[in-house]
Chain A
Amino acid sequence: MALLSKKDTNLILDPLADNNPITIQVLGICSALAITAELQASVVMAISVLFVLGVGNVVISLLRNIIPTKIRIIVQLIVVATLVIIVDQVLKAFAYELSKTLSVFVGLIITNCIIMGRFEAFALGNGPWKAFLDGIGNALGYGIILIVVGFFRELLGSGTLFGFKVFGDPVAKTGLYATGYENNGFMIIPPAALIVVGIIIWVQRSRNRALIEEN
């Protein structure tokens, strides 16, 4: 890693595990619950947030010395909104069906706590290169959880991955379904995402006891 110093590497790797925005900071939960019923939607959401957070962090970092403190939230909102609209338009142009599934949730990236959180906590106080790495790291940490949750929910709930029928056809009763297996309808509904995220949090904290909060 000649390209990245050790400090820079940590900026990317920390949010992936020990400072994960979803499982440790418990931010951005709403979208994690809403769109993870299908793996494809999770991946697209993860990429969208990666774009918005990466670029947004750089923009805010560049502007950090000229934004008046009193109106910084408004400026941040404008930056996010601009980026989110770009993502939304691109999706509508190139993946119309998918943009209908994601519908309002792409727009709601604006209100994703992770994004405003990183702008406030990091981009306003660091240079553009560091801010970029931090944005990428946090978006990846968010994306990984989304994809893991989406993987289990789609596999167990619909028996598919990216729409591909993994276990056979549930209607024609082929493959695993011939043995009496049935899809788990519980995994389709949003509370299941809460439980899957909860299990990830549980496993992570029991493997690394330093992460358990005092209360």
Chain B
Amino acid sequence: MSNKRLTFKKRLHILKHRYRGKKMAPAFNAFHTFLFSPDETTHTGSHIRAADDLKRTMNTVIMALIPVLLFSFFNTGYQHYSAINGFPENFSVMEHFLTWDNFWLGFVLVIPLVIVSYGVGLLIEFIFAVIKGHEVEEGYLVTGMLVPLIVPVDTPLWMLAVAVVFGVIIGKEVFGGTGMNILNPALTIRAFLFFAYPTWMSGDKVWVHGAVERAGTADAISGETILGYLAQNNTSEFSYSVSDMFFGFIPGSVGETSAFLILLGGLFLIFSKIASWRIMVSAVAGSLVMGLIFNGIVDLGWIGERSTFYGLMSFDFWKHLLVGGLAFGIVYMATDPVTGSQTNKGKWIYGFLIGFISVMIRVFNPAYPEGVFLAILLMNVFAPTIDHYVVKGNIRRRMKRLKQATIFPKSTDGKEEELKVETI
């Protein structure tokens, strides 16, 4: 086994050298670095070889996403069969949820989304690497896993492919590739899908497999999300319990439903120091504050039951974190180190506004029952501005401190002369 691997690696190495300096070189190099640690050593200067490179970072995020992906297989099947056969009376996780049927249906439906996302996205990355003559970057590894998790399960594959092409080129490559992008590429893809094909991205049909095909027939099934239900201002109780919402036995985009697993993934990312806990904590705080404000407005009686906003405004503030993509967005999207704020204080502001605006969009715009992706994209745009003012504020504070501590040296003619401090 090891012998075989060595020869394969050796062969790649030889190929790489044969194509050195040619146009296709980056493609071979990328394949080589993707599978193995290359043999090249640097010849000039001394370099520290650190293990936590970009590839390691990306792989850690993917590891945090694996439980969510596995859960999505089961939930896709569970939602489909429950919508057809009715929800089980005495729900037990082992009997009704973790079944082979559920898993297989979800597997067959979700894996093509993953394959299309990675296939198309990496193809674009390779093409651009060859055109520009730089190395292929690992940036798409996480995006490619995020994309299938934030779309409805019945999204046609060609639409996903078109959106990935758009998102990778317009969201990332035009700015210069990984690390240079302003917008989160996965959310750019989601936003493109939402505005280009709204009938496949919202409404009460797309969230459960089969609902679109069956619409209008005698076998019609409905798969409305909780947010969609609330946005229509139905005041009667819906059938999902809080534990359903927390563990994720609810309809929704492929991987966004289980707040529990997302919480575990978030903790994993925090303890492996990949994602910023400041952004996560402040985003949660922001959404809770906005939710509390809306609850307060309802409690004060300013909004009556007949108001269009009543359904979502009276929704308990902490439940906003359990439904829709808020938790998923906060943990995996808002914490993107490239598009988020870089300064610590900036991260607090950035995260808080993401949570705050997400809930605001949810409530005030029933056409967008899911405001998270819009809120994060908006704050992505503002992140550099926030950082700019945080840095500027810091400079001003230090200048002030410096002035207070100015030394007054005795000059030769006996007069006290202020030491001029050069600005930074």
What residues make up the interface of A, taking CB atoms closer than 8 Å to B?
A: 180-182, 184-187, 189, 195, 198-199, 202
Residues of B within 8 A of A186 (CB): 192, 195-196
Given contacts A195-B170, A202-B174, contact A182 B159 (CB under 8 A): yes
Residues of B within 8 A of A195 (CB): 170
Please give me the 7 A-B residue pairs with the lowest Cβ-Cβ distance, nearest first.
A186-B196, A186-B195, A184-B196, A185-B196, A182-B197, A185-B198, A180-B156
Q: Show 24 A/B contacts (Cβ-Cβ < 8 Å), sorted by A.
A: A180-B156, A180-B158, A181-B158, A182-B159, A182-B197, A182-B199, A182-B200, A184-B162, A184-B196, A184-B197, A185-B195, A185-B196, A185-B197, A185-B198, A186-B192, A186-B195, A186-B196, A187-B196, A189-B195, A195-B170, A198-B170, A198-B174, A199-B170, A202-B174
Taking CB as reference atom, which chain A residue is nearest B192?
A: A186
Q: CA separation between A181 and B200, bound complex, in Å?
A: 12
B154-175 CB mask vs A (1 if < 8 Å, else 0) is 0010110010000000100010
Q: CA separation between A202 and B192, bound complex, in Å?
A: 20
Taking CB as reference atom, which chain A residue is nearest B200?
A: A182
Q: CA separation between A54 and B255, bound complex, in Å?
A: 58
Inter-chain CB contacts under 8 Å: number:
24
Apart from the given pairs A182-B200, A184-B197, 15 other A-B contacts in the complex at a CB distance below 8 Å: A180-B156, A180-B158, A182-B159, A182-B199, A184-B162, A184-B196, A185-B195, A185-B197, A185-B198, A186-B192, A186-B195, A198-B170, A198-B174, A199-B170, A202-B174
What residues make up the interface of B, taking CB atoms closer than 8 Å to A?
A: 156, 158-159, 162, 170, 174, 192, 195-200
B158 shortest CB reach to chain A, Å? 7
Residues of A within 8 A of B158 (CB): 180-181
Residues of A within 8 A of B162 (CB): 184
Q: CA separation between A181 and B192, bound complex, in Å?
A: 16
Residues of A within 8 A of B192 (CB): 186
Q: CA separation between A184 and B197, bound complex, in Å?
A: 6
Q: CA separation between A184 and B196, bound complex, in Å?
A: 5
Q: CA separation between A202 and B176, bound complex, in Å?
A: 12
Residues of A within 8 A of B156 (CB): 180
Residues of B within 8 A of A185 (CB): 195-198
Q: CA separation between A189 and B198, bound complex, in Å?
A: 13
A48 shortest CB reach to chain B, Å? 30
Q: CA separation between A160 and B156, bound complex, in Å?
A: 22
A213 shortest CB reach to chain B, Å? 16
Q: CA separation between A161 and B196, bound complex, in Å?
A: 19
B216 shortest CB reach to chain A, Å? 14
Q: CA separation between A26 and B159, bound complex, in Å?
A: 32
A170 shortest CB reach to chain B, Å? 12
Q: CA separation between A186 and B158, bound complex, in Å?
A: 16
Q: CA separation between A164 and B76, bound complex, in Å?
A: 41
B162 shortest CB reach to chain A, Å? 8
A181 shortest CB reach to chain B, Å? 8
Residues of B within 8 A of A187 (CB): 196
Q: CA separation between A32 and B198, bound complex, in Å?
A: 25
A195 shortest CB reach to chain B, Å? 6
B331 shortest CB reach to chain A, Å? 28
Q: Which of A180, A181, A185, A199 has the most CB of B within 10 A?
A: A185
Q: Which of A180, A184, A195 has the most CB of B within 10 A?
A: A184
B383 shortest CB reach to chain A, Å? 20
Residues of A within 8 A of B196 (CB): 184-187
B131 shortest CB reach to chain A, Å? 9
Q: CA separation between A195 and B192, bound complex, in Å?
A: 12
Q: CA separation between A202 and B199, bound complex, in Å?
A: 31
Q: CA separation between A199 and B162, bound complex, in Å?
A: 16
Q: Which of A182, A189, A199 has the most CB of B within 10 A?
A: A182
Q: CA separation between A185 and B191, bound complex, in Å?
A: 12
Residues of B within 8 A of A198 (CB): 170, 174
B111 shortest CB reach to chain A, Å? 20
Taking CB as reference atom, which chain B residue is nearest A206?
A: B131
Residues of B within 8 A of A202 (CB): 174
